[in-house]
Amino acid sequence: MGWFGETMDSVKSIQIRQALSQALTLGLIVTSALIIWKGLICMTGSESPVVVVLSESMEPGFARGDILFLHMSEDPIRAGEIVVFNVDGRDIPIVHRVIKVHERKDTGEVYVLTKGDNNDDDDRALYARGQHWLQRRHIMGRAVGFLPYVGWVTIIMTERPIIKYILIGALGLLVITSND
């Protein structure tokens, strides 16, 4: 086989080990991100502990692209709180302020009505057909903090998918070509 053949076998062995090492590193990064996300879900009690404001309906308090941090507790929901909620039949959560709270004395069930700060009318037009109030099951969490404009990265990647693919490709290329 000779010197050249042994050298080629050695190079192939190193390349395979390096590729396996990089794949393992990438797997650890993805796994760590998932563990952190699940940990945040457990700590905050919210199915989505971080959301991005997608419209101007909450200006001037929150601008499009702000990231909100959510927390969901058993405390009663009060008028004036900013909540994130899902409406039956819609995929995208909505960030608005609670303007009215109604509690049924016989069952203890709580119903809330919301409105965007920058909107003229309440949200009944956004709710599912025939629905006039939100129930607690619709509410994902209360806003407890925010980072201004950081969510624009998410908005841009959603509105322009080619940028997302370029970014993922560049990060993949960086992982493949990096030398530990």
Return the ∠ at Cα 127 (arms to 125 and 131), rounded to 5°: 105
Which residues are designated catalytic? 57, 96, 123
Please identify which residue in the block is written with the tokens 């563990």: 35
Q: Residue 89 — left, alpha, or beta (φ > 0 → left; ψ -120 to 50 → alpha)?
A: left
Q: Which of 139, 131, 148 is nearest to 58 (CA)?
A: 148
Tell me how far apart the alpha carbons of residues 79 and 118 are, in angstroms, rounded to a whole number: 17
Contacts of 36 (CB under 8 A, 6+ apart): none
